[in-house]
Chains A and B, each alone.
Chain A
Amino acid sequence: MSKGQSGLGKSTLVNTLFKSQVSRKASSWNREEKIPKTVEIKAIGHVIEEGGVKMKLTVIDTPGFGDQINNENCWEPIEKYINEQYEKFLKEEVNIARKKRIPDTRVHCCLYFISPTGHSLRPLDLEFMKHLSKVVNIIPVIAKADTMTLEEKSEFKQRVRKELEVNGIEFYPQKEFDEDLEDKTENDKIRQESMPFAVVGSDKEYQVNGKRVLGRKTPWGIIEVENLNHCEFALLRDFVIRTHLQDLKEVTHNIHYETYRAKRLNDNGGLPPVSVDTEESHDSNP
């Protein structure tokens, strides 16, 4: 799920991440629609394949978030959506005749796009992340990082990290879920140094030094998306896809979903059929 105000490059970034036209680009959105009056939730599913491995990817976009004059409670539709997915899964799980593979529409990861003002987080960002870090894995991402010079970038990241800490916002990878020392040191390093990732997205290719690279062409130079000196897109991609993809799903299933389930079962005294089965079969989940 990608969240953030319009124009922060969410769709472009998602396209770049998965190297395919997964998201409808905002420019086509522009011509027909205006900024939607309420926060909408648009989910588009794709199946992509690499090396024989198929993945069903669902990208949920939220146009209209944070764009209005009065943005109070604009996170509520999103929270509702996430909980609805948990609810759907829960219903399937407690069914007497369960499907072998329960379709998993739960949100495994939420990329929150922070506007690169260079100063600090906006009250809206803080409120949103505070509410949603309890229900979903949030990965804060600094959008359009080509706005900032290197010093501004590191200062901004430091400030953002500090603010998140002061406000008690646990972003993914959460400290409390580190299973062993190895994980902890690895994640600590990521948490303290790299996150939030400052990224630049692009789906256009240019010729640089004889190679074709994804980038943005400006009168003063070409910004290469996959060049670690220019931006941290490669780090984000490796983090989300190559190393932590499974972990994201596990944390969603084992922790966020369980929290939701426990709350639900406590509230209502259970759903029919009532056999509070504490043993979940994890292998039925993809």
Chain B
Amino acid sequence: MSKQQPTQFINPETPGYVGFANLPNQVHRKSVKKGFEFTLMVVGESGLGKSTLINSLFLTDLYPERVIPGAAALNTRKTLLWEKIERTVQIEASTVEIEERGVKLRLTVVDTPGYGDAINCRDCFKTIISYIDEQFERYLHDESGLNRRHIIDNRVHCCFYFISPFGHGLKPLDVAFMKAIHNKVNIVPVIAKADTLTLKERERLKKRILDEIEEHNIKIYHLPDAESDEDEDFKEQTRLLKASIPFSVVGSNQLIEAKGKKVRGRLYPWGVVEVENPEHNDFLKLRTMLITHMQDLQEVTQDLHYENFRSERLKRGGRKVENEDMNKDQILLEKEAELRRMQEMIARMQAQMQMQMQGGDGDGGALGHHV
């Protein structure tokens, strides 16, 4: 029974009260101290506003002064041509620690520049898939290791897939990519640059994308239904969120004057698109979803995707272990050879020293080097 707790709790004298109702607070305090980690991957063609959106979502400048590739070197013909043709998919991970009301979040954003840019995009998602697998592999390795106290979780918890608003739905590349990673990571499809579309076009596009996702059996991340004991507002919110997938967003970090107040938005000759206006786009919904379900995203990654990976890996691992055994024998042989060489060297040195000093083998302990 904790006597120093504030008096908002039940009177400690109530019979049957042990006090472990206080446990959530303890967990909360520990988690806040520990801080949270979250890794978000953004995938999409260049020019869809990925970096702007990430900056807007977290109100931080993850990509300060982004230099658009090729713009600086416009004068060099060779550079320009090379950059275009040779562009392969890169993986850029940037981590930022943001804090809000004492709660720390270590956010890693994994960007994939070059995706979908090449003329032949057959291999463009191989790099991405191997990155995701690598993170799982590393976690598996750490988990099976001896010292498990400070495992850093770099697994990708969520992937925002940016769909171009200019098409009529999903492109073959979109479908192929999502099918390749839907068993490895939570996919949240996002329609980028939503200010291109009128409301009707938006509805049509959303419906079409959902139909295509179902048709190809792509498993995107589904928000968990609100528990029955949650309040009505939350249930309503979850219902709204679920109905708006895929979210159509507009990102901006510029402050525009609109109706007397400063809002983040984009200024056009015909009006201002406000980022945080739910009638203009689903930015707020996306942010709400991410924040309220961050925990769930991490859980699904851990319980579903990671476990899948792990069981696959360990099943496959049977064959791999054999190779390692063979390697181990080889390594043992090599090590023995090295030991012998070192012993000879030491013996030689000893002989030299004995000749020099005539007695007193200072390094006799070297013989104790045997394993």
A contact set with B: CB distance below 8 Å: 5-8, 26-27, 30, 35, 67-72, 115-120, 122-124, 126-127, 143-144, 146-147, 149-150, 159, 162-163, 166-167, 216-224, 229-230
Whether B122 lies near A117 (C-beta < 8 A) is no
Residues in chain B near residue A120, CB distance under 8 A: 68-71
Residues 119-133 (chain B) with a chain A CB within 8 angstroms: 119-122
User: What are 20 A-B residue pairs whose CB atoms fall within 8 Å in the complex?
Assistant: A30-B169, A30-B208, A35-B168, A35-B172, A72-B119, A115-B164, A117-B46, A117-B48, A120-B70, A123-B85, A123-B119, A126-B84, A143-B166, A149-B266, A166-B74, A166-B80, A219-B279, A220-B195, A220-B268, A220-B271
Partner of B167, one of A5, A124, A159: A5
B146 to chain A, nearest CB (A): 44
Whether A221 lies near B270 (C-beta < 8 A) is yes
Whether B195 lies near A115 (C-beta < 8 A) is no
A147, B49: Cα distance in complex, Å? 11
> Which A residue sits closest to B48, measured CB to CB?
A117
B contact set with A: CB distance below 8 Å: 45-48, 68-71, 74, 77, 80-81, 84-85, 87, 117-122, 164, 166-169, 171-173, 176, 193, 195-196, 198-199, 204, 208, 266-274, 279-280
A45, B71: Cα distance in complex, Å? 42
B315 to chain A, nearest CB (A): 30
**Given A163-B80, A219-B279: A119 and B46 interface contact (C-beta under 8 Å):** yes
A67 to chain B, nearest CB (A): 6
Residues in chain B near residue A149, CB distance under 8 A: 266-268
A123, B3: Cα distance in complex, Å? 70
A127, B71: Cα distance in complex, Å? 19
Q: Nearest 6 CB-CB pairs, A to B?
A: A117-B47, A221-B271, A220-B271, A221-B270, A7-B167, A119-B47
Residues in chain A near residue B173, CB distance under 8 A: 68-69
**Given A119-B68, A216-B198: A127 and B119 interface contact (C-beta under 8 Å):** yes
Residues in chain B near residue A115, CB distance under 8 A: 47, 164, 166
A36 to chain B, nearest CB (A): 11
Whether A123 lies near B84 (C-beta < 8 A) is yes
Whether B198 lies near A159 (C-beta < 8 A) is no
Residues in chain A near residue B85, CB distance under 8 A: 123
A27, B18: Cα distance in complex, Å? 66
A167, B76: Cα distance in complex, Å? 11
A124, B116: Cα distance in complex, Å? 11
Residues in chain B near residue A221, CB distance under 8 A: 268, 270-272
Whether A147 lies near B195 (C-beta < 8 A) is yes
A70, B208: Cα distance in complex, Å? 23
Residues in chain B near residue A6, CB distance under 8 A: 167-168
Residues in chain A near residue B270, CB distance under 8 A: 146, 220-224, 230
Whether A122 lies near B117 (C-beta < 8 A) is yes
Looking at B45, B121, B198, the one whose CB has the most chain A CB atoms below 10 A away is B198
Residues in chain B near residue A223, CB distance under 8 A: 268, 270
> Which B residue sits closest to A223, measured CB to CB?
B270
A151, B43: Cα distance in complex, Å? 26
Whether B199 lies near A218 (C-beta < 8 A) is yes
Looking at B87, B118, B168, B193, the one whose CB has the most chain A CB atoms below 10 A away is B168
Whether B280 lies near A220 (C-beta < 8 A) is yes
> Which B residue sits closest to A218, measured CB to CB?
B198
A51, B325: Cα distance in complex, Å? 88
Whether B171 lies near A220 (C-beta < 8 A) is no
A127, B120: Cα distance in complex, Å? 12
B318 to chain A, nearest CB (A): 34
Residues in chain A near residue B68, CB distance under 8 A: 119-120
Partner of A69, one of B121, B164, B266: B121
B197 to chain A, nearest CB (A): 8
Whether A144 lies near B166 (C-beta < 8 A) is yes
A7, B271: Cα distance in complex, Å? 24
Partner of B77, one of A7, A70, A122, A166: A166
Whether A118 lies near B269 (C-beta < 8 A) is no
A233 to chain B, nearest CB (A): 14
Residues in chain A near residue B84, CB distance under 8 A: 123, 126
Residues in chain A near residue B280, CB distance under 8 A: 219-220
A30, B212: Cα distance in complex, Å? 12
A76, B270: Cα distance in complex, Å? 40
Residues in chain B near residue A146, CB distance under 8 A: 195-196, 268, 270
Known: A115-B47, A119-B69, A166-B77. 7 other contacts (CB 8 A): A6-B167, A30-B168, A147-B193, A150-B268, A220-B195, A220-B273, A221-B270
A227 to chain B, nearest CB (A): 8
> Which B residue sits closest to A126, measured CB to CB?
B84
B305 to chain A, nearest CB (A): 24
Whether A147 lies near B120 (C-beta < 8 A) is no
**Given A117-B47, A159-B71, A230-B270: A67 and B81 interface contact (C-beta under 8 Å):** no
